[in-house]
Chains A and B, each alone.
Chain A
């Protein structure tokens, strides 16, 4: 188990596909936490997330021979988990399971605004306002922001995980950033005003 950390994703994935149990366990240990984290935001249901995680890994092992290669295990797992969770969630609603309903989902994230600057003191009030701005974004925008800036996926990976065109992904994130920035630049002025009171 100790030797895996030095290997590239391509190699580890390849070992797993050949039936290396150690590689399989290493992949789980490496990504279970972040997968659950992402899954929770998608499902809003911790138990559902864990069940999907469990099912996902069983399926991966059972179908390992037929899987393709990848140079980013994280992205591959994210994409698979996402498909699974959305499918499970749509089972509980009355919709017919078409391609359309796969996009009918929610993505819950809460801003935790932390700044390194002494000058930028963020109070609970401002954090609430930013969270509000964040929640005015569409679920797709929120998910894209989360995948890009928390899980550090590349634009291509985000596009693939979310089944979008690369250009659409870039526009999606771009619009979201602009909307959030509008609220951020407002802060210094508000802060000044609150100091005067």
Chain B
């Protein structure tokens, strides 16, 4: 292995080098790190090879858990030569307790009261001009803003805005957590009258002239928008913006030197407070906003990161009895609207179980 004579392509094609870049262990780390020290003049070549390898990514299709389980079921049925027996018992659909009324009637009543109460609560909030939507862990909420823009709020997140957009110079919202925005293009001021079906002029009930600029504020970034669809994820000290369609300008808000970046569809901008700079990448869409389809897509993501996500979005505590498992990479699609199904899916591959709000990755005794 005459590595000294290697050019960039040779390193790219070398299996031992590939292992170091894609799946290093202590042996490969030791070897390559000491080799670089002995041959510092080759550092640039190694870097080029490493970058090329790290950037070889392909768009992948992900089947959701349900589809794969359906196929599995067909396979199992075929193998077991099962004949399908219909055993649907229609007799006990509603539970009828001894006091006569079906239980579900009472439950529905409670729901209606609950909704009325929260409506009243929201209306009160309106009067004080500040509107806020908050989601619990694991909850997804769809919200409509005064300008008809739609926001999908992911679990453990909050969206706040001032209810006076007609008077102010911007449409502004403040976000903590994760949301997907579909922003209405700004309406031109000319839309005052319109003709109804009989041709008479009618005065439009909602004279909504909203300001052109739409800005999403997070702790570190201001995202300026002109009629687009994009996802913002701000957790801990990192913010990620993914643009699906339209045009967006991202600006750092609190740093000394303001950095600005324009985004095109399919791009992701990441900001980490530690590095205090905006990094732009081109990526494939599936992963960043898949939660809206109630699906989470992981493309070779370490279990450690998945554990962090479970904590952030669902408020679950994750314990690794086996530290080795944290590094394992998972490639697949998990259901996001049902934590039990999510854990079940993971448990097919890893020794993991759930105890209330705790998720435990077990260690396995050597047999």
Looking at the complex, which of A65-73, A85-93, A95-103, A169-177 is the stretch in contact with chain B? Answer: A169-177
Among residues 247 to 304 in chain B, which have CB atoms less than 8 Å away from a CB atom of chain A? 264-267, 277, 279-284
CB distance from A99 to the nearest CB of B (A): 28
* Stretch in A76-84, A109-117, A159-167 with 4+ CB within 8 Å of B: A109-117
Given the interface pairs A111-B57, A115-B281, the reply to whether A184 lies near B13 with Cβ below 8 Å is: no
A2-B362 contact given A114-B55, A124-B267, A181-B9, CB 8 Å threshold: yes
Considering the complex, which residues of chain A in the window 28-75 have a beta carbon less than 8 Å from any beta carbon of chain B?
Answer: 28-30, 32-34, 36-37, 40, 46, 50, 53-54, 57-58, 61
The dominant DSSP class at the B interface is mixed
Stretch touching chain A among B35-43, B59-67, B203-211: B59-67
Residue A146 CB within 8 A of the other chain: yes
Interface residues as binary, B1-39 with A (CB distance below 8 Å gives 1, 0 otherwise): 000000011001101000000110000000000000000
**Cross-chain contact A29 with B348 (CB below 8 angstroms):** yes
Chain A nearest CB: distance from B26 CB in Å? 19
CB distance A124 to B282 under 8 Å? yes
Q: What is the interface size of chain B, counting residues whose CB is below 8 A from a CB of the partner?
A: 53
The distance in angstroms between the C-alpha atoms of A5 and B56, with both chains bound, is 28
Q: Is B332 an interface residue (CB 8 A)?
A: yes
Asked if B72 and A32 sit within 8 Å, CB to CB, the answer is yes
Complex alpha-carbon distance, A152 and B280, angstroms: 27
- Is A33 a contact of B266 with CB atoms below 8 Å? no
Q: Complex formed: what's the CA distance from A146 to B63 in Å?
A: 18
Interface hub of B22, B55, B68, B266 (most chain A Cβ within 10 A)? B55
Indicate which residue in A3, A50, A123, A173 contacts B264 across the interface (CB closer than 8 Å): A123
Would A32 and B79 count as touching, CB distance under 8 A?
Answer: no
Chain A, interface residues (CB within 8 Å), range: 35 or more
B144 → chain A closest CB, angstroms: 30
Cα of A170 to Cα of B12 in the assembled complex, Å: 12
Return chain A residues, CB-CB under 8 Å to B59: 109-112
- Nearest opposing residue in chain A for B54, CB measure: A116
Which residues of the other chain, B, contact A127 by a CB distance below 8 angstroms? Answer: 266, 282
- Knowing that A33-B331, A109-B58, A110-B284 touch, tell me 19 more A-B residue pairs with CB under 8 angstroms: A29-B348, A29-B349, A33-B62, A61-B75, A111-B59, A112-B284, A113-B55, A114-B54, A114-B281, A115-B54, A115-B55, A117-B51, A122-B282, A123-B264, A124-B266, A124-B267, A126-B282, A150-B60, A174-B9
Chain B positions within 8 Å of A, measured between CB atoms, are: 8-9, 12-13, 15, 22-23, 51-63, 67-68, 71-72, 74-76, 78-79, 264-267, 277, 279-284, 331-333, 347-352, 362, 364, 366-367
- The 16 sampled A-B contact pairs (Cβ below 8 Å) are A2-B351, A3-B351, A5-B364, A6-B364, A6-B366, A25-B72, A26-B348, A33-B68, A109-B59, A110-B58, A111-B59, A114-B57, A114-B281, A177-B9, A181-B9, A181-B52
